[in-house]
A and B are shown apart, each in its own frame.
Chain A
Amino acid sequence: MAANPMTQFEVYRIGPEIKINQIDISFTNASLFMIISALSILLVFNLGSSKKNIIPTKIQLLAELSYSFISKMISDTAGNKGKPYFNLIFSLFMFVLFCNMFGMLPYSFTVTSHIIVTFFLAALIFIGVTVIGFMKHGFGYLKLFVPSGVPLVLLPLIVVIEIISYLSRPISLSVRLFANMMAGHTMMKVFGSFVISLGIVGGWLPLSFSVALTGLEILVAFLQAYVFAILTCIYLNDALNLHH
């Protein structure tokens, strides 16, 4: 029978074991693909920004379109106040997108299919947004949990629900990305192994499924990066423009 579809998510050490105070920070395949993603983003956007043509070249057009895409996304969701956070959201979107897309290559490793990575990013966003909210509004930021126009009787319940929903933001944000990536890649692996197990006679059906899934997964890879970035923008908007 074919290999376990979950083996593709296994992390293994590349090179020697590095330990600082008993903490293992060895270079792994996950680290390799993080570095590859980051470097390829830098490469693409460096190439796209080095020339100053009035009529842009293809790669320049790509860089500038991505720039205006993210810029529009921020101004649509968080308004003008969100502009200082452009760099962070641009990097976040590109990092998640490139990690997802590199995961689509055969024999590669999907960084974002690991809950710890997505959770760390989501926690970073959550803490950052909360800090920004308290810095902008002081304790007035707590008004976020008290929606206006709610009957006084229901207020304690609503506040509890609001607090829970606020605290579950990093979990929903991270699990959404992680689960999408993992499920898609598992499905592809399973269908791929069907092609082998059913052979030349019956393998065509799972093969066509696999092809269709590849297209779907590329879409999901983009979509999840977009969702990740736009949810960040929405949380940022809550922190910047407190309206409830």
Chain B
Amino acid sequence: MLKKIIFFNLLLSTFFTQISKSAESGGMPQLNPEFWISQIFWLIISFGILLIVLSKFILPKIRNNIELRKSEIVDNIETAEKQKTEAENTLKNYDELIRKSKNEAKNYFNDARKKIIEDIEKKKQILDKEINIEISKAEAEVAELVNKAPEKIQKIAIETSSDLIRQLIGEEVNNSSISAIVDDLCKKNKGKYYGN
């Protein structure tokens, strides 16, 4: 601690002796007027040149550059915004297009589906008609057959009965009387054989 204080005192004392010495030996050179005029002269020349060159050539260029940059930046921002809105519009159009084409595709699908269903329906109807016609034809044939069957049976019955009678009694019997008997029998038993 003591050492420090001594050291610091030494430092301060040298500092002050130095300053007092300098003050004794001539003082400030600034107050010596020998070169005052020369300094003013050269100050006017150097500062004058600086002022003229700066204000005539350099500062306008810097001002120009700054303004150019500002305007360029504003322009760029404007174009960027324009492009942004354009891009948004394009995106919108694109979305619209996709939506439309999706709808169209759906419509096509639906139409095709409907057409096919209609076709199937039509063909089915035609087929049904044909089938019905066939069925009715077949039914008519069957009915005809059914209607014709008793007559044929009667004929066969009459022939067989006349043959039987001729062989049994060796005599020609009148066909009409036989047929009358067969008719009678047929009418009696009709319900029995042809009942539904």
Contact residues of A with B, CB < 8 Å?
1-2, 4-7, 9-11, 23-28, 30-31, 34-35, 37-38, 41-42, 45-46, 48-50, 52, 54, 56, 60, 63-64, 67-68, 86-88, 90-91, 94-95, 111, 113-117, 120-121, 178, 182, 186, 190, 193-194, 197-198, 202, 205-206
Chain B residue at minimal CB-CB distance from A5: B22
**In the bound complex, do residue A9 and residue B58 qualify as a contact, i.e. CB atoms below 8 Å apart?**
no
List chain B residues, Cβ under 8 A from A1.
Answer: 18, 21
How far apart sit A10 and B64, CA to CA, in the bound complex (Å)? Answer: 43
Chain B residue at minimal CB-CB distance from A27: B42
List chain B residues, Cβ under 8 A from A6.
Answer: 22, 26-29
Q: Which of A35, A87, A178, A193 contacts B51 (CB 8 A)?
A: A87
Chain B residue at minimal CB-CB distance from A49: B61
List chain A residues, Cβ under 8 A from B32.
Answer: 11
Asked, given contacts A41-B50, A178-B30, A197-B14, whether A49 binds B42 with beta carbons under 8 Å apart, the answer is no
**In the bound complex, do residue B28 and residue A190 qualify as a contact, i.e. CB atoms below 8 Å apart?**
no
Asked, given contacts A5-B18, A24-B34, A116-B30, whether A202 binds B7 with beta carbons under 8 Å apart, the answer is yes
**In the bound complex, do residue B15 and residue A194 qualify as a contact, i.e. CB atoms below 8 Å apart?**
yes
**Interface check B125, CB cutoff 8 A:** no
Minimum C-beta distance from B15 to chain A (A): 6
Minimum C-beta distance from B191 to chain A (A): 119
Chain A residue at minimal CB-CB distance from B49: A38
List chain B residues, Cβ under 8 A from A42.
Answer: 49-50, 53-54, 58
Minimum C-beta distance from A116 to chain B (A): 5
Chain B residue at minimal CB-CB distance from A209: B11
Chain A residue at minimal CB-CB distance from B36: A116
**Interface check B142, CB cutoff 8 A:** no
List chain B residues, Cβ under 8 A from A64.
Answer: 62, 65-66
List chain A residues, Cβ under 8 A from B28.
Answer: 6, 9, 182
**In the bound complex, do residue B54 and residue A90 qualify as a contact, i.e. CB atoms below 8 Å apart?**
yes
List chain B residues, Cβ under 8 A from A114.
Answer: 30, 39
**In the bound complex, do residue A25 and residue B37 qualify as a contact, i.e. CB atoms below 8 Å apart?**
yes
**In the bound complex, do residue B11 and residue A9 qualify as a contact, i.e. CB atoms below 8 Å apart?**
no
Contact mask B63-92 → A, CB, 8 Å, 1/0? 111101100110000000000000000000
How far apart sit A117 and B41, CA to CA, in the bound complex (Å)? Answer: 10
**In the bound complex, do residue A24 and residue B22 qualify as a contact, i.e. CB atoms below 8 Å apart?**
no
Q: Which of B18, B39, B46, B62 contacts A37 (CB 8 A)?
A: B46
